Amino acid sequence: VKPTGKYADRFGGQLVLVTGAGSGIGRATAFAFAEAGARVIAVDRDAESAVRTAELSRLIGAPEAWAETVDVSDEQAMEKLADKVTTQYGVLDVLVNNAGIGLGGSFFDTTPEDWKKVLDVNLWGVIHGCRLFGRHMAERGQGGHIVNTASAAAYQPSKALPAYSTSKAAVLMLSECLRAELAGQGIGVSAICPGFVNTNITSTARFAGVDAEEEKRRQKRTARLYGLRNYPPEKVADAILRAVVRNQAVVPVTPEARGAHLMS
């Protein structure tokens, strides 16, 4: 399949790895890179959905696509993945640390176990990815780009999402620090901050000790306020590719995320 994506000139033949590629924003991002003719590595802890993303990526236009079943919070598994990728496929041109879990609850109803779960995946998963793959990019000396999926929750406090918002604020700061450190080596780092996007994470989020109905009403009010209607993951994927092309630092994506970013 000949690449048709609008960024085909930029990403054709490049090696791109996306975590959380089995669903939602990650899958849409893998497809957008595939459309642009990139070679795609789809990583997810769910084996079947990663394989599906890789199969479809090939059909869409990726000259090669592979699936890897890895839990991004597992440091050893990530080390193995980095070794395998570098020896078998080459050094990454683009890394998208996107895997994340949504776990809500009031501050006092969020257990230490839940805090750990969220930070392990949403923050440590990004740290492992940046450390292991970023080092290879730097050693190769030919530039590259790292995109981390943060969230509007990183700068928009919500009493329903203390652990999630904290993990995303940390990802935002980590991205800015790493961006400063790698700038001299031609490696860009972007933090993507979507607001409410229609994916599994938003339909299955669990809210301990919080009035789930009140939370839904709040989200609907916000959606009305900003004229949001089922914001699709494909638009976030497009913003991710654009962030790489333009080397943008922080990218608020949905209208309400942009609004909050401007206010903060």
Who's near 42: CB < 8 A, 6+ residues apart? 18, 21, 22, 26, 27, 30, 50, 51, 53, 54, 57, 65, 66, 67, 68
What residues pair up with 103 in beta bridges, in sequence order? Answer: 206
Give whichever of 37 and 169 is closer to ligand NAI, judged by the CB atom: 169
- Distance separating alpha carbons of residues 217 and 73, to the nearest angstrom: 33
- Distance separating alpha carbons of residues 207 and 134, to the nearest angstrom: 34
Q: How many CB atoms lie within 10 A of CB 228?
A: 19
Give whichever of 37 and 101 is closer to ligand NAI, judged by the CB atom: 101
- Supply the minimum distance, in Å, between the C-beta of residue 85 and ligand NAI: 15
- Supply the minimum distance, in Å, between the C-beta of residue 186 and ligand NAI: 26
Give whichever of 37 and 72 is closer to ligand NAI, judged by the CB atom: 72
Q: Which residues of the shown chain bind ligand NAI in the complex (CB under 6 A)?
A: 19-20, 22-26, 44-46, 49, 71-73, 98-101, 121, 125, 149, 151, 194, 196-197, 199-202, 233
- Supply the minimum distance, in Å, between the C-beta of residue 140 and ligand NAI: 25
Who's near 59: CB < 8 A, 6+ residues apart? 1
Annotation marks residue 7 as catalytic: no
What 3-state DSSP class applies to 94? strand
Give whichever of 64 and 71 is closer to ligand NAI, judged by the CB atom: 71
The active-site residue, picked from 7, 89, 155, 164, is: 164
H/E segment holding residue 251: strand 250-252
The candidate with the shortest Cα–Cα distance to 258, out of 222, 233, 232, is 222
Give whichever of 3 and 199 is closer to ligand NAI, judged by the CB atom: 199
- Supply the minimum distance, in Å, between the C-beta of residue 21 and ligand NAI: 7
- Supply the minimum distance, in Å, between the C-beta of residue 224 and ligand NAI: 16
What residues pair up with 192 in beta bridges, in sequence order? Answer: 149, 251
Q: For 51, what's the count of Cα atoms within 13 Å in the CB-facing half-sphere? A: 3
- Long-range contacts of the stretch 138-142 (C-beta < 8 A, 24+): 138/182, 138/185, 138/187, 140/91, 141/185, 142/91, 142/186
- Residues assigned a catalytic role: 164
